[in-house]
Chain A
Amino acid sequence: MPGPGAGFAALLRRDLLLAWRRRGEVANPLIFFAMITALIPLAVGPEPSLLARLAPGMVWIMALLGTLLAADTLFREDFLDGALEFLVLSPQPLWLLVLARVVAHWLVTGVPITLLSPLLAALLALPGSGLPALVAGLGLGTLAFSLLGAVGGALTVALGGGNVLRPLLVLPLYVPVLIFGTAAVARAAAGGESAGALALLGAITALALLVSPFAAAAALRVGIDG
């Protein structure tokens, strides 16, 4: 009998391998965001003060939308090809398997955009003092996005593709992350203290880490009955 770690590792490995096989698809949103960022100064004007004010919100919204779009496929594909039944019928704890899917999702969507964010911020003339808060906040915040998105994805797994219910369910949960994330960057960029906002962001992520694997696992057991 493989131990609980084996299921986690096998699923994480599987998802990363699948993502690597279609790395073009995975890179698409990043290229799209880079284009948006390059176009903003042309559209709203090149004044650094205006762009710097816009920068935290723009980068955070792009990270949010990028994860939200990708969360559609979090359980949907496994549901359609029958692999989800293997997850549910595995003797391994389902919440741990869900966590593996979430971590893989974060590594493929949240981490790349976090790594890309300094470049996007530079294009938007964000002062250098805001960069550490941006990167730290996005690292934590995108993990929370993936965790919360998993609950929405699990609840709506059997509904048709492209339904608007899931974003509606998940967006209210994303809002606090967005607020504290952008606040941290804006304060740091203005030369202020960002630790408070980042601590709250970390608290939200920790709470999501504790609750959402269990909530998503329970939702999957219900949702698998199409």
Chain B
Amino acid sequence: MSPAAPLLEFQNLCFERNDLPLFEGIAGGVREGDILQISGANGAGKTTLLRVLTTALSPAAGSLCWRGRPLPRARTRYLTELAFLGHAPGLKLGLSPRENLRWLGGLFPQRHGAAETALAVLGLADWADAPCAQLSAGMLRRAALARLLLSGAALWILDEPLAAIDRDGVALVEQLFRAHLDSGGAIIFSSHQQLALPGVKYLELAA
């Protein structure tokens, strides 16, 4: 493992659905401090590409490398350093944000005792113990984002992190992104919005 190796690097990725290529020849990567935005029309395969990058889906062709090591093999190492937020927030509606963070803490590396601050930073201090079923879509998204603050993950892969988030929330997300990038992390995300962040790289998926 050379120190110069990018965090995540992918080459010639191709994914097929019903034997038809959804996308092919996708290449790119992120180094420490990099932020990559996946854009493209609805149905262009943004979500699928992000899920391929997390290894939840296997590509029909192409390769992925984590810190210079080929991916299916380095998977466990990769997953301990990855924080993924999907299209759906992944929180149980019958549990409160705090309880959701607690069960997720059993599945992923999480900083101890930081749930309180993470929820407060995202403006959910008053809602930490309310069932998620009572939260609005934007608040649910904020609760899901709180997990990113707790995880010490190097790479964040986020599918539409700004969906349902209000204007203050977008500013907050930009702030979280900047802090993560400054501390040597990397971000890959999909969104139709432009973030006010310097140095965003783009990967456009053709429909």
Contact = CB atoms under 8 A, between A and B. Distances in A.
Given A10-B102, A14-B103, A83 B76 contact: no
Given A6-B106, A10-B107, A89 B92 contact: no
A92 interface: yes
A82 B88 contact: yes
B86 A85 contact: yes
A92 B106 CA distance: 9
A162 to B, nearest CB: 20
Interface string A1-37: 1100011111101100110011000000000000000
Contact of A18 (B95, B105, B107): B95
Nearest to B76: A91
In this complex, the interface size class of chain A, counting residues with CB under 8 Å from chain B, is 20 to 34
Contacts of B99: 14, 17
Nearest to B54: A89
Given A21-B94, A80-B88, A224 B103 contact: no
Given A81-B88, A81-B90, A85-B86, A2 B103 contact: no
B94 A9 contact: no
Contacts of A83: 90-92
A21 B82 CA distance: 31
Contacts of B102: 10, 13
A18 B96 CA distance: 11
B109 interface: yes
B106 A10 contact: yes
Given A1-B80, A22-B94, A89-B54, A10 B89 contact: no
B104 to A, nearest CB: 6
Contacts, number: 87
B92 A81 contact: yes
Contacts of A91: 76, 79-80, 108-109
B86 A90 contact: no
A2 B109 contact: yes
Contacts of A85: 51, 56, 84, 86, 88, 90
A77 B105 CA distance: 20
A88 B82 CA distance: 13
Interface in A55-98: 80-83, 85-92, 97
A21 B132 CA distance: 13
B87 interface: yes
Interface in B106-150: 106-110, 131
Contacts of A47: none
A225 B15 CA distance: 12
B55 interface: yes
A8 B4 CA distance: 37
Contacts of B206: none
B180 to A, nearest CB: 18
Contacts of A89: 54-56, 79, 82, 84
Interface of B: 51, 54-57, 76, 79-80, 82, 84, 86-95, 99, 102-110, 131
Pick the 10 closest A-B CB pairs, nearest first: A10-B106, A82-B88, A82-B90, A14-B103, A90-B107, A91-B79, A91-B80, A6-B106, A10-B103, A83-B90
Interface of A: 1-2, 6-11, 13-14, 17-18, 21-22, 80-83, 85-92, 97, 224-225
